[in-house]
Chains A and B, each alone.
Chain A
């Protein structure tokens, strides 16, 4: 919820935002009508990817940044289908 309020506040103040949520909180992004949201299939507390998994982390960030160029209306939600995978043991 916290980031939802932050996203709405910045967007209303003229700063475009994109938020990365884990799947467990997709409904929060939807009921709060956030401007742009990327959803990952990751466990809570691990929104961008596993520790020591820079490839997945980059994929998620690029998907989020891409919404700045592609989204045409508020409430845009894009779900990344890649399932969770553990990162390297010693990142």
Chain B
């Protein structure tokens, strides 16, 4: 139930859930759906308390910390079904200062000239991506290749699973292109591999592992990378 215009009185359960792909969708606060109504109520009580205090002292840090703390609480039960017993580990063959570094993010970046066009839809908007989140979660992810000399104006982002406002203002928030170019120039890394890669992390986990990942591994091995930096969102 997400219809704000409904005549029926909205319950607290419906209200908190409406921030997760509902009538009040805001992906920074979609964690509210994972909280009990009692905890969600407590979040809003604490939030309003900090907002009230900020009117006098002007500091927003406590508000940000409160949101952070409740996000941690909201997601604490997520992703626990994919549990493994052992951690794979291979030691790098050389220091990172001599290594060719590959990059792969799940931030949903792509070049303007190579839109993956999910479900065959051209120029899909962020709003449409959020509306189709269930379809993304059943689909096979597409890998976008982004050359490191891309013009900043040609770098696009679209992802129905998280709040893209920050990365829309500055891709370096999740796609560290300029950061790594600088580290390469300073010799902190041996070489930044081109292209960098990105995909929409909200996807079918089975299709990712069985259908997409083997080809991705072959492709990045073909790039000659020594190590891989991964940035999930």
Contact = CB atoms under 8 A, between A and B. Distances in A.
Interface of A: 1-21, 23-25, 27-28, 31-35, 41-52, 54, 57-58, 61-62, 64-66, 68-69, 71-75, 83-87, 91
Contact of A45 (B28, B83, B104, B203): B28
Given A43-B28, A46-B173, A58-B183, A16 B228 contact: yes
A2 B231 contact: no
Contacts of B75: 24-25, 44
Contacts, number: 229
B14 to A, nearest CB: 23
Give the interface size bracket for B toward A: 35 or more
Contacts of A14: 90
B82 A1 contact: yes
Interface in B202-226: 202-203, 205, 208-209, 213-214, 216-217, 220-221, 225-226
B96 A44 contact: no
Given A28-B78, A84-B68, A16 B91 contact: yes
Contacts of B61: 83, 85
A66 B188 CA distance: 10
Interface stretch (B41-49, B111-119, B127-135, B164-172): B164-172
